[in-house]
Amino acid sequence: MNYKYTSKSVDDTLELAQNLESEKFPGMVICLNGDLGSGKTVFVKGFAHALGIEDNITSPTFNIVKEYLMGEMPLYHMDVYRINENEDFGVEDYFDKDGVVIIEWAELIQDRLPVERLEINIKIIDDDTRIIVFKPFGDKYEELCNAVL
Burial letters 110-141, b for 16+ CB under 10 A, else e: eebbeebbbbbbbeeeeeeebebebbbbeeeb
User: What is the rounded CA–CA span in Å between residue 71 and residue 130?
Assistant: 28
Residue 103's CATH number: 3.40.50.300
Tell me phi and psi for residue 112, to 5 degrees.
-100, -5
Predicted confidence at residue 86, as pLDDT, reads 65
- What pLDDT, on the 0 to 100 scale, is given for residue 40? 96
Burial of 48 (0-12, 13-18, 19+ CB in 10 A): buried
Whole domain around residue 17: which residue ranges?
A: 3-148
**List of residues 6+ apart from 76 with CB closer than 8 A:** 65, 66, 67, 68, 94, 97, 99, 100, 101, 102
Determine the pLDDT at residue 27: 95
Overall number of domains in the chain: 1
pLDDT of residue 85: 64
| Averages of pLDDT over each 10 residues, the chain, 149 residues | 97 96 95 96 96 90 87 94 74 90 94 96 97 98 95
